[in-house]
Structure 1
Amino acid sequence: MLQINFVGESAGQDLMINEVNEHTTMADVARKVLQFTKKPTAKFSFITDSGEKIELKVDQSEVEGDGKDKLVQTITGYYSTGLSCEIKTNITVILRKEGKSVEIPFHKQDKVSDLKRKACQLFAVKIDGAYLRMGSGYEIDDDKTLKQWEIYPGDCLYLFKEKFQKRKNTRGCIQIFIKTLQSRTLQMFVKQDDTILSVKSMVQEELFVPIDQQRLVYAGRELDDDKYLQDYNIQNEATIHLIARLSAGGELPLHFVDVEKTNTLVKSQWSKVAPEWRIAGPGLAVEGICTNNRCKAKGQMVIHSAGFGDFNFDKCDAKCPICSWPINPVKPGFNNCLWKIDFQKTGSSAVTKLPWTKTGDYYHTYDQQKAGMAEFTKLIIHTKKLVQDEYSSNSYVSFCLICHFKVFMAESNKCAKKCGHHFHDHCALSWRGRGFLCPIDGDEIEDNS
C-alpha cells in the first residue's frame, strides 16, 4: 500500500494506492493520481523520503519525465514511507546566479518572448540581452511558442541577463584543458573568477554537450556549478576531466560487501594523482572490477559515480567509467553526502534500515577484508546532497515537502519528528497550524531549533 499526501492547492487530501508491488513504477503512480484529480492532463511534483524531486507530465495516453521508470519500492524503502505530491499549474523561472525565482501562469499560446518579458518585469532586469534556457542548458528561441518547445505547467526555466560570448581577449586569462573520455582535449582560456557553470557553457558551445549531461572533475572532485575556478585552486595548464552522467538501472548482485558492519568503514583523503577510473563524484560511488580486455583499466577496481538519489541493486547498471563495460558491484563509497542503506539478507524475512550517516569532504568506504562479503536479496542505497554555504561548511540541501522548493540546513527550518525531513520555517508553521502531519511518514512536525 502506498500513501500519496497532497500539498499546495490540494493540501490536506491524500490517496491510498492499494495495488502496488515490486514492479510498480512512478508512471503507474502518476496515472493513479491523474485519475484521482479528474484532470485530462497535469504536471506532478513528487518528493521522496530521500528529498529527491520527481516531476512527471501526465495525460490520458502517456507519462513523460526522467523518473517515470523508477520503481516505487526503491524510493519508498519497500513502501515504508509515502510520497509528497504537488499539482503544478505555473512555470517557474529562476534568475541564474542570484537564485531568485518567480511563478508565471502558463498559457500555451504564449511565445517565449512573452514569458521572457513577464520574467524580466518581475525580476526588474533589462530585457535587452536577456535570454531563457531550459534545465538541459539549451537556449530557447523567442519566436516559438511554449507548446512548440514542449514547455508545460511545472517546468523550470533559467533567465540569464546576458548571452555567453566566446572570449576573444585572453589577457588576464589562464589556459586550461578539458579532456573527454574519448581522449579528445579542448583548449580553453578562462579567468579564475569564472564560474564552473560558465565553463560548462563554453564546453557546450564547443562540444555540443548539454550542461545537464556534463560532470567536470578536477583532482578527483566533481566541480559545483555555482563555485569559481579559484575555489578549487585551478591554475594555468590544469586538466579538467569531462565525464558523462550515468544512471542506475541489471540484476541484483548476490555477493556484496557486508554493509551491516559499519564499524569497518574507513576514511581516505583525496589524491591528485588518482587514475581516471578512480575518480569519485559527490554522493554514492559503486566500486567493482573492470573485466574488459580492451580497457586500460582491465583488472582494476574502478568507480562508477552514481551520484544522489536512490540506487537499487536489483536494477543496477554500474559501468567502468573508461569503457562503459558493465561491472559487478563489490562495495559502495561515499563523499560529501548523507546516506542510508535498506537491505534484506538471504535467508532473512526482515528488511534492515541503517540510519542516515553524514560523510564530509573525504572518501568513505568499507574495508572489504574486515567487513567480508554477504548475500542480499534486497539492497537499496539512498544518498542526499551536502552543500557549502556562508553559514556552515557542510549543510544539507533538500526539497521542502510542502512547497517543493530547496531548503538549506543553514536556514531557519523545521524537522519532522524523528525522521529528519526538512521544511522551510514558514511552511512548517503554516502546515502545522492547519493540523497537518509530515507528508512522508505522518509524524508530527516539531520545532527542531
Structure 2
Amino acid sequence: MSFLLYLGSSARNPEAAGRRAGAPVGEAEYSYRFLLDAYRDMLAETETVIEIDDPAQADRYHVHFTALGEPCTLLAFCPPNLAPVGLACPTVCLFAWEFTTLPTGGWSKDPREDWRHVFLAHGRSIAMSEFAAAQVRAAMGDYCEVAAIPAPVYDAWASVEPRRMTDGQARVLRIGAGVVRDTRLTGIGQTAPFWPLRDAPALQIPPVPPLTVPPAHVPDALLHPVHEIVFDGMVFTTIFAPKDGRKNWRDLVSAFIWAFRDTADATLVVKIIHREPESFLPHFENLLFKCGPFACRVVAIGAWLDDDQMRDLASVSDIIVNTSHGEGMCLPLAEFMSTGAPAIAPDHTAMADYITPDNAFIVRGTLEHNVWPHDPQAMFRTMRYRIEWDSIVEAYESAAAMLKGPPERRLAMSHAARQTMHDYCSRARIGKTLRRFLGTASFAETPEEV
C-alpha cells in the first residue's frame, strides 16, 4: 500500500521536510511535524511512503499507483479545518484535540471551519485519543468512521538507558548553542541582602568593551560554548511551549518551588520550546523571583536539542511533569514514560488513555468554560480542565517520597510506565490498529517487543 503524507498546517516547511527543525518552533501546531515523523518512520519500514508539499499532488500519485494495482491513501496531519477535501485520492485526517466540543465554524466562508464538513467529506478520520474520537462519534454518528490511533513513539525511546537518581552515576547533560539559566548560578531564589536606601552601596557599572570581530584562529569551542549541566538528587523535567496556553506552566513551576522550598536536592528542568527563548526568560525569571527564597534548583533550557540530546535529557530525568489544561496526546510525556520515567500528570483528555495510578502521580482538575483556540470570536463554546494547584504540590511530595523510599516502588512504577507505553504506542500495536482500520493486510507484521 502507498501512503502520501501531507503536513497541512503552518508547521509545513518544504525546505526542511522530514526534519523536526523545519517546524515553526513553539507555535500551536508545532506538534504535527512530530506526529508525521513518527508515522513516516513506522510506515516506511514496510510501505511506500511519499511526503508531499501540495495536496494537489495527491491525485496524480493516486492515478499512478492505482494503475499499478496498489491502493493509495493520503494521510493529512493537521487540524480538520486545514485538511484538503474534494480529492479523488482517499484522504484521512490525523488530528489531535483536547476540548470538550468540536468547532462548528460560523466565522468564515471556508466550510472546513465546521469540522463536520471535513469528516463527512473524508468518511474516515484518525484521532490521537479516545477523548477526541468520542467527540467525532457523537457529532457524526455513522457518517464518519473514526479510530483513536496515537503516534507510534515507544520504539524510538524504549532503548534509552536511564541514569536515575539511585543509580549512583554522575549525570551530565551537554548542550550546544542556546540559553541556559540555572538558579544555582544566577542566584535567583536565594535571600538577597537588604540595605536601607541611604546605606545602599553605590552601583558599579563596568565599562562596555568595544565590539570586535573574533579572529579566525579562535577555537570554535570558544565561539560556541557547550553547556555542561551536572545533576544530583531528584530531577523533575517538563517540556512546554510558552505560547501554548494549555500548558499551565506557572502552576507547574510555582508548585514545584513550594513543595521543595527547603529541599536542596530537588531540581526542575524546564525545556522551553520557543523561537526566541530570550524573550520569554524575563517572564519566567519574574515568577521565580516572586516565589523566592527557595533551596531547590530550577534549570531553564532555551536551546534546540536534537534527538540524541533529547534522549540524554530523558535519561537523566527521574520524573516527567505535565500540568496542562488539556492534551491532544502529549508527545514528551509519552516519550519520557517510554524510557521508564513515571509521571506527574492529570488523567483527563488524551492522557486518560495512558495515565494511571500505577505509572503516575495524578493531579486533579475540574471543568471550566473556555474558547476554541482558533476562534476569532473568542466565544465560550467549549470547556477545558482547571488544575487544582494544591494537588500538584501533593504529587511532587508523593513523587519525592517514592524516589527516596525503598526501591521496589520506584522500579514497579518505572516498569508500569514502560509497559503502558508499549501497549499504548508501540509500532506493533499502532500498525495492527491502523491495518484493521484501513481494511488492508498489506502491512508486514512487526514482532512484539517488551
- With normalisation by structure 2, the TM-score equals 0.24
Greater radius of gyration (CA)? 2
TM-score by length of 1: 0.24
Larger helix percent? 2
Return the structure number with greater strand share. Answer: 1
Of structures 1 and 2, the one scoring higher in RCO (CA 8 A, sep 6+) is: 2
